[in-house]
A = this chain, B = another copy of it.
Amino acid sequence: MLTISQLAAYAGVTVRAVRHYHAKGLLPEPERDQSGYRRYGAAAVVELVRIRILADAGVPLSRVRELLSAADPEFAQAVRDIDLRLRAEIRERQQHRERIARLASGESLALPPEAVAYLDRMRELGFGERLVDIERDSWILIAAQIPDEVGTFMAIKHAQIEHEPLRRLYLDIESMADCTHDDPRLPELADRVVVFIEAAAAVAHELETGVPEDYQVSDALAHLLDSAFCETFPWATRLLELLEERGWTGWTNIRRLTLPT
């Protein structure tokens, strides 16, 4: 008769594993000797080897129990199921490999390549780290929420920073990075923003396009982006208030305020 460690050695598993299989009901508990030790016969080695062969083929232990006593057709079905699962797991890993490869090459963690290009262009044009950071974070959020539309919005953004007057507005925003709520430049900035917005609205009206809906993100996302903006620049909250005084609300999706009657 064999002790548990001898049994385990014959089957090439650990003692702990054998006890685990007992607990799971894969291997029947053998007789005990007078001191309570488990005593195994050769048949137990055969059973244990069969368990390990299935387990080594990637069969989960819960199915091993069924399969040990399965007839051919159920066995074949189970094998198909397991093969499907293995294929799915392999595909999953392969997708993971592609993703981390992209993370490694694209230096920047969560951004599509066009966004990386945009941020680089911002740096070239003299934007500082504060504004680049908030833009990066914004694009991380946009890419996470509406990955398919990043391209569209990115094109708009690119056009904006290449448009010189608008770029100067942005640069001025950045130069105010550390100003306070009552900075006298804030009302002035609000005025300049309104000029831009109204000019754009007039052009849109002239072209009879109205406010192009396609260029608006969802309200929830717009609100989130506005929050991120306000978290980075505390004075932005005040700026939004000043804009509301001038009849405009929001920032990402800035729109004319509908006054309460």
Contacts and interface: CB of A to CB of B under 8 A. Distances in A.
Which secondary structure characterizes the binding site on chain A? Answer: helix
Interface of A: 10-12, 41-43, 45-46, 49-50, 52-54, 56-59, 72, 75-76, 79, 82-83, 86-87, 89-90, 92-94, 96-97, 99-101, 103-104, 107, 109-110, 137, 140-141, 144-145, 220, 224-225, 227-228, 231
A2 to B, nearest CB: 8
Contact of A141 (B42, B83, B86, B137): B42
Given A137-B43, A227-B42, A104 B90 contact: no
Contact of A83 (B72, B97, B137, B225): B97
B144 A72 contact: no
Contacts of A50: 109-110, 140
A110 B49 contact: yes
Nearest to A224: B42
Nearest to A230: B42
B90 A94 contact: yes
A87 B83 contact: no
A100 B92 CA distance: 20
Contacts of A145: 10
